[in-house]
A and B are shown apart, each in its own frame.
Chain A
Amino acid sequence: MIEDDLRAAFTRHEQLTPPTGPLRAAIDRLATGRRRRRRRWQVGGTALALLGVLGIGVPLFTPERSGPPQAAGSTGETSGPVVTGALNILLLGVDSHKSQPPLADSVLLLHIPADRSRPYLVSLPRDLKVPIPGHGSDKLNAAFPFGAGGDRPDLTKGYELTRQTVTDLTGVRLDTGFVLTYRALRTLTDAVDGVPVCLSQRVRSVHTGKLFPAGCQRLDGAASVDLLRQRRGLVQGSQDRDHNARLFAAGLVRQASEKGVLTNPVRLSKLLDTVGPELVVAPDGATMLDLLRLVPTLRSVDPVGLSLPISEPTGRDRYLRADPALAPEFLTALREDRLGDWVARHPERVDPVG
């Protein structure tokens, strides 16, 4: 009889069902927006992956010139043969100036799963509060200057301390990594004869006074770096800067593919030859050659963009904190090379790098 009551209760409550018309419209609207974001991400992500590949490829093409700086802080971690199995590569985008200690403005983990399906690009927010070995707790981007030191910053040591910090934070074994400075970015941009971008808002450089009008323009290396440094004065600060960086990355890929750089190995190696010496490569270079060899084995080079789940900022906290519920699950998936499953369960987490 309770079964009958249940059936009756369900049928009675069918009247609660709202009309489907507005819901259908909302679904279409949301899907369109998400599709557009996803496409934007894919273009930007390809650019970042390209940069990653460039960084990995450098030692192979220019062994004599890009010889990694002697790494005093190297832990001598040997990862052994890595052609099979999952790979994690740490990418650091660094704001370097002679006058001030460099900050790691973007910290990215490039994860290549063992099945070689497609790369995952995991961004770790630079304002994340993390324990930094030997320096208490601070923002993630502070690990780099702590390691590099103030007077004559040693990028390799900065990389090393950031690597330790990220390893402690994520528990992920990092196979290798590289540092991309603004100087390298400038050389790269000039090597492809400038990059077209279409800005959505005008930007006045607080560093050089240069005005970037809203709309489309072609930027040379110096102008690109100038633009990408601008954060103050933008409506949404560092979010808008990230947006500009994505525009730039998309333009860079477009430009590189127009020039046939991506498909022509001669041009690519020439480009690497130019940019190579500007890139600082992680000291564990033994695996680099293997890494480069595995790039063609990837079934797709379109990376999946993810970021470490963050809890909602509370009040005026100047730090970001990892989401206590989602972050451990995410990191476990990353460690165990199950990001594909995780993404399937949390498709809404696939996002442009923020």
Chain B
Amino acid sequence: MTYEEFADTRLAPLLRYAVMLTGDPHQAQDLVQETMVRVQLNWRRVARADSPERYVRRMLTNQYVDWRRGSWMRRVLLRGEPDEAVPAPTDHAQSAVDRDQIWSWLSRLPRRQRATLVLRYYEDLPDAEIADILGCAVGTVRSSISRALATLRAEYVEACS
């Protein structure tokens, strides 16, 4: 597979995945951009992987989890010019986000927990594959999911009472 072929089919799903991780289209674009630049520069290594797609997803997830430690967040924050590639979210979408409580609760979760939720309930991946992507044990994935769900449930209870 060439990089071009990979990008043709996989860029859109990766971008959607990044939106679910970050909850924000701008940050999702930056996350995917930074990851895919590295993918392109190191394509031979990526192509050698059993599943290039999973390899890239792992790169992207690690980049997201390492957010604060890495430098790309800082670059994003310091960048002066607005990215013209990003369409401004429409009012409709924005207000939908505001109304969407569960979406906003997600942003309070630790990043690894959020990533497990996205991989489980958006990408519908089995625990073993999630563990592979996050580089942890299957048990860790399960406990991470149940802890994240417990946090969300607590928010529910609080909001309803």
A residues adjacent to B (C-beta < 8 A): 2-3, 5-7, 9-20, 22-28, 30-31, 34-35, 38, 312, 325-326, 329, 345-349
From A11, A16, A349, residue with most partner B Cβ within 10 Å: A16
- Show 15 A/B contacts (Cβ-Cβ < 8 Å), sorted by A: A5-B102, A10-B118, A12-B96, A12-B103, A15-B93, A17-B19, A18-B15, A18-B87, A23-B85, A26-B85, A35-B41, A346-B70, A346-B71, A347-B42, A349-B71
CB closest chain-A residue, reference B24 = A16
B98 within 8 A of A: no
8 Å CB contact of A6 from B11, B85, B121: B121
Within 8 A of A (CB), among B1-59: 7, 11-12, 15-16, 19-20, 23-25, 28-29, 32-34, 36-38, 40-42
Do the beta carbons of A16 and B152 come within 8 Å of each other?
Answer: no
- A23 and B11 contacting across the interface, CB-CB below 8 Å: yes
Q: Is B135 located at the chain interface by the 8 A CB criterion? A: no
B121, A16: Cβ atoms closer than 8 Å: no
**Given contacts A27-B36, A27-B40, is CB(A9)–CB(B102) below 8 Å?**
yes
| Contact residues in A for B25 (Cβ distance below 8 Å) | 16-18
Contact A348 B100 (CB under 8 A): no
A326 to B73, CA, bound (A): 13
B interface size (C-beta, 8 A): 49
A14 touches B19 (CB 8 A): yes
- Kindly supply a per-residue 1/0 record for chain B positions 86-126, scoring 1 wherever the CB is within 8 Å of any chain A CB and 0 otherwise: 11010001001100101100100000000001100110000
Partner of B16, one of A3, A5, A14: A14
Please give me the residue from chain A that is nearest to B17 by CB atom.
A17
In the complex the two chains form, is A6's CB within 8 Å of B71's CB?
Answer: no
Q: Which residues of B contact A14 (CB under 8 A)?
A: 16, 19
When distances are taken between beta carbons in the complex, the residues of chain B under 8 Å from A30 are: 33, 37
* Residues of chain B with a CB closer than 8 A to A27's CB: 7, 32-33, 36-37, 40
* Contact status A6-B102, CB under 8 Å: yes
* Complex contacts, B121 vs chain A, CB 8 Å: 3, 6-7, 10
Residue of B nearest to A27 (CB): B36
In whole angstroms, how far apart are the Cα atoms of A184 and B120 in the complex?
Answer: 63
> Which 6 residue pairs of A and B lie closest in terms of their CB atoms, listed nearest first?
A22-B85, A10-B122, A31-B40, A6-B121, A27-B36, A9-B102
Bound-complex Cα distance A19 to B89 (A):
12
Within 8 Å by CB of A17, from B15, B36, B71, lies B15
Closest residue of A by beta carbon distance from B3: A31
Q: Most A CB atoms within 10 A — which of B25, B41, B117?
A: B41
Contact A12/B100 with A2-B152, A20-B11, A23-B32 known, Cβ cut-off 8 Å: yes
The reply to whether A2 and B37 form a contact with Cβ atoms under 8 Å apart is no
Give the docked Cα–Cα distance between A19 and B32 (Å).
Answer: 12
Interface assignment of B79: CB less than 8 Å from any CB of chain A:
no
In the bound complex, CA of A19 to CA of B72 (Å):
21
Asked if A6 and B28 make an inter-chain contact with CB atoms under 8 angstroms apart, the answer reads no
What residues of chain B lie closer than 8 Å to A17, measured between beta carbons?
12, 15-16, 19, 25, 28
B68 to chain A, nearest CB (A): 8
Determine the chain B residues whose CB is within 8 A of the CB of A38 once the complex forms.
Answer: 41
A residues within 8 A CB of B40? 27-28, 31
Q: Which residues of B contact A346 (CB under 8 A)?
A: 70-71
| CB-CB under 8 A for A312 and B102, given A26-B33, A35-B41 | no
Pick the residue among A19, A22, A345 that contacts B66 (CB under 8 A): A345
Known: A2-B153, A17-B15, A346-B70. Is A23-B103 also a contact (CB below 8 A)?
no
Q: In the complex, A240 Cα to B25 Cα: how many Å?
A: 37
Docked pose: A11 CA to B85 CA in angstroms: 23
